[in-house]
Amino acid sequence: MRFEKQARDYLGAQGLRLLQSNYHCRFGEIDLIMRDADTVCFIEVRFRKSLDYGGASASITATKQRKIVKTALFYLSSNRGLLNHPLRFDALLIQQQADGNHDFNWIRNAFYAE
């Protein structure tokens, strides 16, 4: 939750507007749902202390991506006013540096719905 707040603040400073955080349904969970101008962004937030095992990006597996897409479609079915907007699946990777600071890597279009 702490890192999701940092992610929300970081993305807000980039001009995104929060629609919902920690959205849950029977298909899964989405960390952040935000608007980037007219685009609805479904954002997976990942934090890692080290680059071991591929770092934060390696933890967003194909299975996790499919769950996020299904969850996003369910969210849209409940929020029909967003159906005509472009969609994007992003990742915000937060990597802890040796000095204890955090490095943010925002990957737009980190994956696509098939």
Identify whether 34 is part of a domain. yes
Q: Residue 17: beta bridge partners?
A: 35
Structure tokens at 29: 């969970």
Decide: 104 and 94 in contact? Cβ < 8 Å.
yes
CATH of the domain at 62: 3.40.1350.10
pLDDT for 60: 82
Give the model confidence (pLDDT) of 37-87 as tens digits.
999 999 999 876 655 555 556 668 899 999 999 999 999 999 999 999 999
Decide: 109 and 89 in contact? Cβ < 8 Å.
yes
Q: Residue 111: beta bridge partners?
A: 89
Residue 103's pLDDT band (boundaries 50, 70, 90)? confident
Instruction: Report the domain count for the chain.
Output: 1
Q: Which domain holds residue 15?
A: 2-109
Residue 27's pLDDT band (boundaries 50, 70, 90)? very high
**pTM value?**
0.89
